Every structure is written in structure tokens, then in C-alpha cells.
Amino acid sequence: MNTKKSSECPLCGGAKKPGKTIFSVELGFGVVVVRHVPATVCAQCGADWIDDEVAAHLEQYVDEARRKHSQVEVFSYA
């Protein structure tokens, strides 16, 4: 278990800052991409972490893409 401060990137030790990231998931029949997702981003290596509530919201985009069954679905996080 990593006991480092949560404000420190576990990968490189850089500073984690609020930022935006891009979320993508492979569904088998297609791909879902969500842009401008709020996330915590490492200023040094670019690793990102998405909050639980944001991740829950992303599920809705995934569900919508599943319903549409589109090969590529690109959303902007809102």
C-alpha cells in the first residue's frame, strides 16, 4: 500500500493538479470518447485520476453509446 500524500503522483512524485482529461473506452462493437473530462492531472508525467462522481456520469455516456450501437461516439463532458 502506498502511503504517499494524495497530492503527489504515485508514478513520478510530481504534483497533482485539477485539470481536464480525455476518457475513452472500448465496447467491442465500437469506441466511446468523452472529451474535457474534469480530472486530477499530474503536472509532470500527465497521469490522470477521475473522481467517482465524474466516473459515474461517464457511465451515462457509455450507456448512450451502447443504445446507439455506434462504432465511434464522441461526447463533450457537460
Of 15, 22, 45, 55, the one binding Zn ion by CB under 5 A: 45
Q: How many residues bind Zn ion (CB under 5 A)?
A: 8
CA distance 25 to 71: 12
Pick the closest to residue 43 from 12, 13, 14, 4 (CA basis).
14
Of 6, 12, 35, 71, the one binding Zn ion by CB under 5 A: 12
Record the cell numbers describing residue 16, joined without a space: 497533482
The SS3 call for residue 56 is helix
Of 6, 44, 60, 71, the one binding Zn ion by CB under 5 A: 44
Name the residues that contact Zn ion, by CB under 5 A: 9, 11-12, 14, 42, 44-45, 47
